[in-house]
């Protein structure tokens, strides 16, 4: 089994946290999330993971709400989507989160 884990700063007060686990080359678990620093605390904005036995995305709001959406993808496909989506859209996600949208 192999584990890959890292945190990448994307801008001031914003970062991507990436974790995935593989077994025999197959993704068996992952979490990729965008985090924003608010009042000296890192807050999750978007999280892709498979914690409930299926790939899904959780969108968090500044007021504490959370919306879950199932992704009908293989874990490896969801992991790729997560990395690409956050890489391309992190500024929009950060802005919407901070504006309460």
pLDDT band at 90 (very low <50, low <70, confident <90, very high): very high
The pLDDT value given to residue 101 = 86
Tell me: pLDDT of 39 over 90: yes
Average pLDDT for residues 22-47, to the nearest whole number?
Answer: 96
**Residue 99 corresponds to which tokens in the numbers above?**
């504006």
**Residue 14 corresponds to which tokens in the numbers above?**
């914003």
What's the CA gap between 4 and 57, in Å, rounded?
Answer: 20
pLDDT band at 35 (very low <50, low <70, confident <90, very high): very high
Residue 51: strand, helix, or coil? coil
Domain that holds residue 47: 2-98
Residue 62: strand, helix, or coil? coil
pLDDT in tens, 52-75: 889 999 999 999 999 999 999 999
Domain count, the chain: 1
Tell whether pTM > 0.85.
Answer: yes
The pLDDT value given to residue 79 = 97
């Amino acid at each position: 089994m192999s584990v890959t884990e890292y945190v990448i700063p994307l801008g001031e007060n914003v970062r991507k946290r990436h974790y995935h686990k593989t077994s025999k080359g197959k993704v068996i678990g992952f979490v990729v999330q965008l985090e924003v620093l608010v009042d000296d605390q890192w807050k999750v904005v978007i999280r892709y993971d498979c914690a409930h036995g299926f790939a899904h995305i959780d969108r968090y709001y500044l007021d504490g709400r959370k919306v879950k959406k199932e992704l009908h993808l293989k874990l490896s496909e969801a992991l790729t989507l997560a990395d690409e989506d956050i890489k391309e859209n992190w500024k929009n996600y950060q802005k919407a989160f901070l504006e309460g949208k």
